[in-house]
């Protein structure tokens, strides 16, 4: 629990609570972390709040963290905080970070080691304001007409379809390392039938006089390869490959790589040990296939959101585990982290369960011409660096997505996406890169640079509403046009319809459960033809209903979920479940037999 206060209606902090206790500057309330702050109280002005908020917490650090020669390095780490954070410890600024959805940390040793035994005060100023240069972009609009709006009235405009929840969304942890420590590890893998190579690179900070030794253990704890030094290769005979769920009877196989460092520092011998889960797998894209370990992979999965009642985008373990159980019930083998990177805790389970991930940056709603300028571009490159650094070693991540539905028909999109995609590939040459488009195939300036075409369409929903009969023609044309133009494999990265649970009509009408089912079935009939050619996946929009801004087309949020926001199935969930298990059984690599309500746990 943290203390919390909001500085209402101010875009910039004009008070300085970090210099003394937050509560000395005005009233504070209790605020849980992790959680979005928006839905925690009954106060509508906090729900829709725009501007700076303050979080504060005092902790007592163990004495052994603060002593020693050399003393350990004490680090304060945030899993994520949305959107712009400034952090002080005992009144000293220790880190500033732009962007939600990704971690950041600060070495706070010098601040805390001066005062052993006293409380350590952590203060966070957080601002959720989005501008044309943030990711996602937004804009603040002042309403000048005094006859219609109060003085200084402004609104936050965004071009994306989910609620801009804010707060400290993921765990905040304090940890220590020795003064010389393992700072980063990069692992890539290659394999043939009987032998795999694990290439590694380890970086150490704090000492040049260090030695590194590595050992790779299998799931039985047996050491299968050893190595030493900062760069090298481990050879694994008869490897257990990492396979996606339903593509193998033992999906998500993870080895465990132990990296041990010893370093001399000021006469002391320091030791740091880090254990990294490693999945051995390869990913390749041809003109019509997506290959995992050389075998064609078909994405039958979902798009998700981090979203739930009360906690908003705050990490919630029961919800996470429930969602994975639903994914496996559904027979889904993949998801896209629409429209921002998900929590590391979620990604860990994808690695362990074999759920293939299209890992998306927060580049959603890039529509304004100014959002394609150099300032935005530089920030986008920095975000890709943070994302790749965080997720590069995850076998579940099979492709990066740098954006969702940008205005890619604008001419500056060519340079913008060429640069972002080339940068991402330079950071990680081992994975394909894409962005998700809803632009016309003939006008899209970003598509030439992607490895896989990911296209969203809402035929018979946003276009020709109510006319299910147009889907076969329009969807077939969509696929053929894209394929003729690019000869690249295609994923239907979104399609779907809103349905209000419990609303029925036959013949099907929009917003009923029957219409959502019927629309899905129309899409599926075309997908069944095209998946024999070059369509390599289908991701339903959306896994579950989720909160959006208020608007005339949203009834308490977006209702395109096949599950409700509380994770109860709508009729469409059963259509998709039958389909995904059927596809899994066809392509199959021994999925367990389907029985009505059983879970297929490892």
Active site residues: 405
Answer whether 499's CB lies under 8 Å from 516's CB.
yes
> What residues from 242 to 261 belong to the interface with ligand GCB (CB under 6 A)?
none
CB of 554 to ligand GCB, least distance (A): 9
Torsion sign over Cα 135, 137, 138, 140: positive
CA distance 549 to 557: 7
How open is the CA angle 198-204-206, to the nearest 5 degrees? 175
Contacts of 460 (CB under 8 A, 6+ apart): 466, 467, 468, 470, 471, 497, 519, 522
Q: Which is nearer to ligand GCB, 191 or 434 (CB)?
A: 434
CA distance 521 to 526: 9
Q: Which is nearer to ligand GCB, 179 or 413 (CB)?
A: 413
Q: Which is nearer to ligand GCB, 88 or 495 (CB)?
A: 495
Q: Which is nearer to ligand GCB, 54 or 162 (CB)?
A: 162
CB of 190 to ligand GCB, least distance (A): 35
Does 404 contact ligand GCB by CB under 6 A? Answer: yes
Answer whether 260's CB lies under 8 Å from 498's CB.
no
Cα separations in angstroms, 155 against 11, 125, 134, 150, 271: 12, 21, 16, 12, 53
> What residues from 311 to 340 belong to the interface with ligand GCB (CB under 6 A)?
339
Q: Which is nearer to ligand GCB, 180 or 491 (CB)?
A: 491
Does 545 contact ligand GCB by CB under 6 A? Answer: no
Does 405 contact ligand GCB by CB under 6 A? Answer: yes
CB of 161 to ligand GCB, least distance (A): 4
Does 360 contact ligand GCB by CB under 6 A? Answer: no
For helices 344-353 and 317-330, give the axis angle rounded to 10 degrees.
30
**Which residue from 77, 158, 164, 65 is spatially nearest to 117, judged by alpha carbons?**
65
> What residues from 110 to 169 belong to the interface with ligand GCB (CB under 6 A)?
160-161
CA distance 62 to 58: 13
Residue sitting closest to ligand GCB (CB):
161
Q: Is the peptide bond before 62 cis (omega within 30 degrees of 0)?
A: no
Cα separations in angstroms, 512 against 186, 203, 462, 464, 509: 49, 55, 15, 17, 6
CB of 103 to ligand GCB, least distance (A): 24
CA distance 455 to 65: 51
CB of 99 to ligand GCB, least distance (A): 19
> What residues from 216 to 235 belong to the interface with ligand GCB (CB under 6 A)?
none
Q: Which of 90, 128, 456, 499 binds ligand GCB (CB under 6 A)?
A: 456
Q: Which of 3, 306, 323, 438 binds ligand GCB (CB under 6 A)?
A: 438
Q: Which is nearer to ligand GCB, 101 or 248 (CB)?
A: 101
CB of 235 to ligand GCB, least distance (A): 44
Does 177 contact ligand GCB by CB under 6 A? Answer: no
Containing H/E element for 71? none
Interface characters, 481-500, with ligand GCB (x: CB under 6 A): -------------x------
Q: Which is nearer to ligand GCB, 339 or 394 (CB)?
A: 339
CA distance 269 to 102: 34
What is the token pair recorded at 589? Answer: 């690599």
Question: Residue 383: phi, psi to the nearest 5?
Answer: -65, -40
Interface characters, 550-579, with ligand GCB (x: CB under 6 A): --------x-x-------------------
**Which residue from 296, 278, 298, 294 is spatially nearest to 193, judged by alpha carbons?**
294
CB of 165 to ligand GCB, least distance (A): 14
Q: Which is nearer to ligand GCB, 207 or 492 (CB)?
A: 492
Answer whether 106's CB lies under 8 Å from 207's CB.
no
CB of 498 to ligand GCB, least distance (A): 7
Interface ranges with ligand GCB (CB under 6 A)? 160-161, 339, 404-405, 438, 456, 494, 541, 558, 560
């Amino acid at each position: 629990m943290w203390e919390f206060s909001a500085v209402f209606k101010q875009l910039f902090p004009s008070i300085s609570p970090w210099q003394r206790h937050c509560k000395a500057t005005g009233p504070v309330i209790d605020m849980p972390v992790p959680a979005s702050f928006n839905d925690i109280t009954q106060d509508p002005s906090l729900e829709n709040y725009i501007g700076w908020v303050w979080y504060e917490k005092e902790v007592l650090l163990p004495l052994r963290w603060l002593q020693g020669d050399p003393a350990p390095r004490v680090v304060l780490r945030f899993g994520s905080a949305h959107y712009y954070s400034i952090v002080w410890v005992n009144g000293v600024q220790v880190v500033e970070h732009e962007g939600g959805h990704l971690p950041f940390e600060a070495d706070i040793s010098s601040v805390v080691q001066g005062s052993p035994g006293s409380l350590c005060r952590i203060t966070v100023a957080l601002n959720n304001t989005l501008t044309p240069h943030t990711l996602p972009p937004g804009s603040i609009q002042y309403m000048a007409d005094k006859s219609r709006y109060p003085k200084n009235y402004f609104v936050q405009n965004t071009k994306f379809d989910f609620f801009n929840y804010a707060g400290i969304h993921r765990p905040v942890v304090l940890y220590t390392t020795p003064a010389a420590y393992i700072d980063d590890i990069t692992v890539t893998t290659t394999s043939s039938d009987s032998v795999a190579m694990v290439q590694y690179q380890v970086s150490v900070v704090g000492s040049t006089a260090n030695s590194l030794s590595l050992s790779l253990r299998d799931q039985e704890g047996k050491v299968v390869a050893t190595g030493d030094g900062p760069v090298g290769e481990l050879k694994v005979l008869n490897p257990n490959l990492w396979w996606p769920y339903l593509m193998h009877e033992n999906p998500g196989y993870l080895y465990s790589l132990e990296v041990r460092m010893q370093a001399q520092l000021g006469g002391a011998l320091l030791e740091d040990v880090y254990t990294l889960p490693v999945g051995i797998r390869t990913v390749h894209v041809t003109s019509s296939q997506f290959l995992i370990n050389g075998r064609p992979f078909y994405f039958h999965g979902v798009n998700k959101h981090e979203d739930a009642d009360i906690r908003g985008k705050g990490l919630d373990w029961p919800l996470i585990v429930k969602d994975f159980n639903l994914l496996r019930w559904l027979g889904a083998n993949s998801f896209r982290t629409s429209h921002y990177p998900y929590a590391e805790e979620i990604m860990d389970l994808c690695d362990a369960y074999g759920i293939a991930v299209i890992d998306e940056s927060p580049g959603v709603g890039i529509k304004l011409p100014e959002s394609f300028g150099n300032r935005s571009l530089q920030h986008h490159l920095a975000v890709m660096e943070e994302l790749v650094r965080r997720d590069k070693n995850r076998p579940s991540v099979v492709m990066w997505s740098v954006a969702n539905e940008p205005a890619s028909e604008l001419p500056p999109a060519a340079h913008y996406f060429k640069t972002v995609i080339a940068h991402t590939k330079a950071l990680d040459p081992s994975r394909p890169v894409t962005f998700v488009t809803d632009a016309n195939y003939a006008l899209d300036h970003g598509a030439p640079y992607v490895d896989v075409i990911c296209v969203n369409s809402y035929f018979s929903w946003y276009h020709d509403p109510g006319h299910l009969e147009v889907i076969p023609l329009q969807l077939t044309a969509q696929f053929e046009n894209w394929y003729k133009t690019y000869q690249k494999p295609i994923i239907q990265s979104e399609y779907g319809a809103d349905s209000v649970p419990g609303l029925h009509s036959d013949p099907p009408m929009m917003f009923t459960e029957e219409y959502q089912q019927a629309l899905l079935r129309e899409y599926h009939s075309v997908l069944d033809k095209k998946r024999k050619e070059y369509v390599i996946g289908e991701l339903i929009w959306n896994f579950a209903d989720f909160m959006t801004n208020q608007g005339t087309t949203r009834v308490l949020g977006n209702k395109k979920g096949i599950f409700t926001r509380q994770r109860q199935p709508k009729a469409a969930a059963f259509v998709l479940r039958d389909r995904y298990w059927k596809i899994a059984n066809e392509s199959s690599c021994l999925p367990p037999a389907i029985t009505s309500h059983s879970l297929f746990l490892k």
